[in-house]
Amino acid sequence: MDITLFKMAYDYRDFFLTGLQYTLLLAVLGVFFGFILGIIISLLRMSKWSVLRFLATAWVEFLRGTPMLVQLFLIHYGLATFGIEFTPIQSGAITLSINSSAYLAEIFRAGIQGVDRGQMEAARSLGMKQGMTMRHIILPQALKSVLPAIGNEFITIIKESSIISFIGVTDLMFQARTVTTISYDGMTPLVIIAFMYFVLTFTLSKILGRLERRLNTDDRR
């Protein structure tokens, strides 16, 4: 089994490396745009305007309350019925981004609400406007406090990106099925990509843990 595993990993390395590239690309795009959207949605959820709060809450609840696969099909196939068509890569990136934004919005909201309200009042007493106070004082502290949760979301997106293979994106899962079709081996390709996913997530979790410890050390100085 071990010989077969390493032999297949080497013989079909181009397939697996291509899949790895697309998996990482989609994960990075998903977290990057999800990060931006998440901040916007979290601020809207705390807006003084009830309409904005309602829309932001509906966004979060719908995306967290429906399967990502359904969201993917709605974007890739559903919107196509109205003439709005995306490539598989675009549909995958959009789905991962909006899904991630719903979870990150709640993470950011918790981080912002966790900052001492006295800091906002102190900044306002110094003449700083609300937008400037939020940008220069509140958000930096909030993002620092929720960094581990953001990292966990990145890890989650890496794993959940495997559903994008359903619309033809040549990620790791897609490539595993391709190798299975060629080799008639349904087990070994899955073991290979499972190991690749594990290496990705384990490495990232260790990097994030080290970064978190460094930030905590800086806080104590």
Smallest Cα–Cα separation from 22: which of 198, 192, 188, 174? 174
Residues 171, 165: contact at Cβ < 8 Å? Answer: yes
Q: What is the pLDDT along the chain (221 residues), one digit of tens a residue?
A: 456 888 999 999 999 999 999 999 999 999 899 999 999 999 999 888 999 999 999 999 999 999 999 999 999 999 999 999 999 999 999 999 999 999 999 998 888 888 777 777 777 777 777 767 777 777 778 777 788 788 888 899 999 999 999 999 989 999 999 999 999 998 999 999 999 999 999 998 888 888 777 766 655 55
> Using N-to-C axis directions, what is the helix angle for 147-160 and 13-45, rounded to 10°?
130
Given this model, what pLDDT does residue 1 score?
A: 47
Given this model, what pLDDT does residue 34 score?
A: 93
Burial of 138 (0-12, 13-18, 19+ CB in 10 A): buried
How many Å apart are CA 13 and CA 28, to the nearest integer? Answer: 22
Q: Which CATH number fits domain 2-220: 3.40.120.10, 2.60.40.1930, 3.40.50.9100, 1.10.3720.10?
A: 1.10.3720.10
Given this model, what pLDDT does residue 121 score?
A: 72
Domain definitions of the chain by residue range: 2-220
Given this model, what pLDDT does residue 200 score?
A: 92
Smallest Cα–Cα separation from 18: which of 183, 193, 158, 163? 193
